[in-house]
Amino acid sequence: MAGVLTGCGTPLASPGAGADVHHASTRVGPAAPGGSTSPTPGAASTPSLTPAQVQEATAALATLPVKGRAPKTGYSRAAFGIAWTDDVDVALGHNGCDTRNDVLRRDLTAVVLKPGTHGCVVLAGVLADPYTARAIAFARGRSTSSRVQIDHVVALGDAWVKGAQQLTAVQRQALANDPLNLLAVDGPTNSAKRDADAASWLPPNKAYRCAYVARQVAVKKRYHLWVTAAERAQVARILAGCAH
């Protein structure tokens, strides 16, 4: 998959687009050093936005309603449907694979697949992490899988207090499994983000912030979510410095 589409149809690159895929000859087990990282700057893909993409994101931001947060009453992960279901991943092909593995195959390189899973389950690969600019070796396993997590770019808790309560159950499940809203990232960094919006959390890798906020805007536009005044100001400030 060469990239994902914003809400208006302009491609935003996925970190590991064009990954090489190999089938393992053994069952589950690390085919690369589990969770090891390299702090080499620039190891991760940090795509710059084109002037057209910046303009599109800025225009989309202007259309988002500005409101305060709604109460978080009633929020649960279950309100967004079954985690990692294949039922709604139209962009990834309704291929019988769960969304988590679909995103791992999309975003990792040197991917090794588990035999007998119809090309679904990722055993190992290398993530060019957009959030930290580190190369992370992923190995599937009880103690290693969490080192690469799938982030909801617009966190589900943030979505809930900014309009998702008003969506149908089907729409919320689509939001939670939409490839536009999903990225494979460094696990500890994702855990630190929690439910933060752009006003209170941005990727440590400053080179990815333009693409990150543009993606958030695209998701919020697609699902008719709103932003707070502080969030809008932060996103506008970042986008203003993105054009090259």
Residue type, 58: T
Strand-pairing partners, residue 22, are 112
**Overall number of domains in the chain:** 1
What CA–CA distance (Å, rounded) separates 60 from 213? 11
What CA–CA distance (Å, rounded) separates 111 from 105? 7
| Maximum alpha-carbon separation in the chain | 54
| Beta-strand runs (E) in the chain | 4-5, 11-12, 21-23, 37-38, 108-113, 122-128, 135-139, 148-152, 182-186
10-residue mean pLDDT profile of the chain (244 residues): values are 41 53 39 35 59 97 98 96 69 70 96 94 97 98 96 98 97 96 98 97 97 98 98 98 80
Q: What is the pLDDT of residue 26?
A: 29
Residue type, 130: P
User: For the purposes of burial, counting CB atoms within 10 Å of the CB of 58, is it exposed (0-12), middle (13-18) or buried (19 or more)?
Assistant: middle
Domain hosting 109: range is 4-240
Q: What is the pLDDT of residue 224?
A: 98
Q: Which tokens in the block code for residue 24?
A: 């393992």
Of the candidates 71, 59, 65, 70, which has an alpha carbon nearest to the alpha carbon of residue 229?
65
Residue type, 231: E
Q: What is the pLDDT of residue 16?
A: 55
Of the candidates 141, 184, 111, which has an alpha carbon nearest to the alpha carbon of residue 34?
141
Q: What sign does the CA torsion over 126, 131, 134, 139 have? A: negative
Q: What is the pLDDT of residue 83?
A: 87
What CA–CA distance (Å, rounded) separates 77 from 64? 24
Q: What is the pLDDT of residue 48?
A: 80
